[in-house]
Structure 1
Amino acid sequence: MTLSRASLLILLVLAALSGCGQSVEHFGGPTMGSSYTVQYVPTGKSPDAAKLKNEVDAILAGLDEQFSTYRDDSVVSRFNGLPAGACMALPADMLTLWRYGEQLSQQSGGAFDLTVEPLMNLWGFGPQSRSEKVPDAPALERERARVGHRHLRLNGEQLCKDVDAQLDFDSIVAGYAVDRVSARLAELGLTDYLVEITGELKAVGHKPDGKPWRIALEVPSGERERQVERSVALDGIGLSTSGDYRNYFEEGGQRYSHTFDPRTGAPVRHALAAVTVAEAQALRADGLSTLLMVLGPEEGYTFAERNGLAAFFIVRQGEGFVTRATTRFEALFPSPE
């Protein structure tokens, strides 16, 4: 799974302040090992920027206390430190995300999995990693035995584990944070805003000139270069991109990406470079983009079409890239701009 933040394929340059006059205000800050930004059109009912920022920072701080795998005192770290056979009561946010992750795992036959942190650490991409390397077979088999939703079960509000399993919600928590922040901004009287957290985003309403918030999707023109491929107008839609072409290592002439297939315990070997998903809920967009990235260009596209998803695939072909959109994506965003 794509558990490191791989959503930098979404560019905000076309949605930013240029062309919006002085009526669009913005603030931001660090979060989840990256950053967040909020752009909004003030109304007579909305608080000032300092109040809004305090509200957003409080939401993000609360989620960090629950979900950060880089904090020993977080809820998820305390759960991960429990031995096999232990149970622990989880807060409502974590139960919501666990249930959604369980749903995606069942729908995909295990291609989406919230328990892959041991594999991420083993390969060098996780929070307890020492170095990026290809593990030996015994180590890989040992860690695979700790991975899988089958090892966890809910008992009321408690999550129990029958092995030394570890959770990592990085594949969905940023999208959930976007939804939480967006809902709070609406409660505070805003009607036109764009929330972006570590690359996951949601836009509501319009800019002051009546034009929609517009987001650019990029295609890599080189291994670490950017090239805008398409822009999309959003209103009430969350957008998430997962990709692997910036986070990888090479060993023995082989390229190993940070996108893992939990079913094999190894990095994916397919040609899908990135996939973008549009959904009303940023949480759903976040999880589904990860899932499709694991499944790959063919299996992922079939899954997306079968489930009516709005998805945009970027696939390696030779020295370049080709793109492919689902029927639902073309219906939402009918023509390249």
Structure 2
Amino acid sequence: MPLFCYPFVQESFSMKTKNTVKPRLFAVLLISVLLTLISGCQPVPNEVHLTGPTMGTTYNIKYWSETEQIPEDIQAKVDAELVHINKLMSTYDPGSELSVFNQSKNTEPYSLSDETMLVMNEAINIAKMSNGYLDITVGPLVNLWGFGPQAKPEVIPSDAEIVAIRAKVGFDKLTLSGNTVTRSHPEMYVDLSTVAKGYGVDRVAEIVESFGINNYLVEIGGEMRVAGEKLNGQQWRIAIEKPVTMERAVQEIISVGNNAIATSGDYRNYYEEEGVRYSHLIDPKTGKPIQHNLVSVTVVHPSCLIADGFSTAIAVMGKEAGLEMALQNNLSVLLITRENGEFKEYTTPGFESFLINKG
């Protein structure tokens, strides 16, 4: 424990008294002073920043605590948990639990871990609430359009190819029971990437809290969860990016209290072919990239997993359907559309309290 007054204490013990008349009185006074100083020596809080690679991106943790913590212990536990999540749910790791399930072509009940089943159940719940616009079985369509582990297609998929793939897509073709999942088509492919980062943020936040830390910011690839306040006593402020491709700019600044925040949009991950823009967000109803003017969705929720899932669902749904669903489910949401060459914002009542002046 770093005692900022320790050098003074050491020096005090080495001092020689010139008072030979009352040495005992001097010693008593000296000990009394030293005890007072030592009792007042407390660790000085400082903000700690931990970072590392995960899920094809990076994680960042900022925290401070009035009790001393060993950052290396926290980071070791965080790193181990994130490696564990990847070994369960990554579609880029052919040896992950989810990849092995996808490769099995099994239509019998298949056992999965508690963690994978938890994430899958939450995703299915969001799928039901969003009328299927969040679909964890849409992976084959994502791959067909070149946004998954496979490379960009040499030619744009034909309608016949899309129809053939859609036959094995649909969250309603999955049956979850206890720790097992059953699929109705042997080539169904489950992709949890729309919610896995959010789940990772929640797990890291839980680890940080397990060390008795109540003031923190956890971020993975832009998805965040915050609690408490900054060391200077101010609330954590989060910038929502302006949905433009060629620059980094701020659209809004928000303060969300003890909550998570997730943003989805199509302005970064896309490609163009013969003047047509193809987004990585695939509409499971059509099997094609979205074509509407909703370009960014931000959701605030206590759970980053749920915020992550709803932000993706609404981004696929479009403004009208997305806003209606958000209002029906009392979600705190900011939607940004591109209308007549300009950005326009739409918010639900729950989100408005989070907005603060950018200045």
What TM-score results when the alignment is normalised by the length of structure 1?
0.89
Write out per-residue CA displacement over residues 236-276 of structure 1, whole angstroms, 9 at most, x where no aligned residue: 11000001011111123211111111111111110011110
Deviation at 1:331, TM superposition (A): 3.1
Deviation at 1:22, TM superposition (A): 8.3
Provide the secondary structure at the position in 2 that maps to 1:81: helix
Tell me which residue corresponds to 1:131: 153
Tell me which residue corresponds to 1:172: 195
Aligned residue identity for 1:250: E
Q: Distance in 2 between matches of 1:78 and 1:276?
A: 33
In the alignment, structure 1 residue 39 sits paired with structure 2 residue 62: yes
- Runs (5+) with no aligned partner, structure 1: 1-20
Tell me which residue corresponds to 1:182: 205
| Aligned partner of 2:219 among 183, 196, 212 | 196
Aligned residue identity for 2:192: F
Write out per-residue CA displacement over residues 125-179 of structure 1, whole angstroms, 9 at most, x where no aligned residue: 0112343642012211111111011221124311111211011101111111111
Tell me which residue corresponds to 1:74: 96
> 1:215-230 maps to which residues of 2 (within 5 A)?
215-220=238-243, 222-230=244-252
**Cα separation, partners in 2 of 1:125 and 1:132, compared to 1, 3 Å:** farther
Deviation at 1:112, TM superposition (A): 1.1
Tell me which residue corresponds to 1:90: 112
Deviation at 1:290, TM superposition (A): 0.5
**Cα separation, partners in 2 of 1:269 and 1:103, compared to 1, 3 Å:** same
On the 8 A contact 1:118/1:166 being kept in 2, the answer is: yes
CA RMSD of aligned residues (A): 1.7
In the alignment, structure 1 residue 101 sits paired with structure 2 residue 123: yes
Q: Distance in 1 between matches of 2:194 and 2:207?
A: 22
Tell me which residue corresponds to 1:24: 47
| Aligned partner of 2:261 among 224, 239, 260 | 239
Q: Distance in 2 between matches of 1:183 and 1:91?
A: 19
User: Per chain length, whose mean CA-contact separation is higher, i.e. which structure has more relative contact order (CA < 8 Å, sep 6+)?
Assistant: 1
In the alignment, structure 1 residue 122 sits paired with structure 2 residue 108: no
Tell me which residue corresponds to 2:167: 145
Q: Distance in 1 between matches of 2:167 and 2:151?
A: 18
Tell me which residue corresponds to 1:289: 311
Q: Distance in 2 between matches of 1:100 and 1:291?
A: 13
Provide the secondary structure at the position in 2 that maps to 1:213: coil
**Cα separation, partners in 2 of 1:230 and 1:130, compared to 1, 3 Å:** closer
Provide the secondary structure at the position in 2 that maps to 1:234: coil
Q: Matched residues, percent identical?
A: 37
Provide the secondary structure at the position in 1 that maps to 2:277: strand
**Cα separation, partners in 2 of 1:100 and 1:233, compared to 1, 3 Å:** same
Q: Distance in 2 between matches of 1:146 and 1:129?
A: 21
On the 8 A contact 2:298/2:333 being kept in 1, the answer is: yes
Q: Distance in 2 between matches of 1:84 and 1:64?
A: 22
Tell me which residue corresponds to 1:318: 340
Aligned residue identity for 1:270: H
Tell me which residue corresponds to 1:161: 183
Deviation at 1:84, TM superposition (A): 4.7
Write out per-residue CA displacement over residues 174-228 of structure 1, whole angstroms, 9 at most, x where no aligned residue: 11111111111111111111000111100111111110111111213x4321221
Provide the secondary structure at the position in 2 that maps to 1:131: coil
Aligned residue identity for 1:96: L
In the alignment, structure 1 residue 212 sits paired with structure 2 residue 238: no
On the 8 A contact 1:43/1:189 being kept in 2, the answer is: no
More deviation, 111-120/121-130 = 121-130
Q: Distance in 2 between matches of 1:209 and 1:252?
A: 52
Deviation at 1:47, TM superposition (A): 2.6
**Cα separation, partners in 2 of 1:66 and 1:132, compared to 1, 3 Å:** farther
Q: Distance in 1 between matches of 2:219 and 2:133?
A: 26
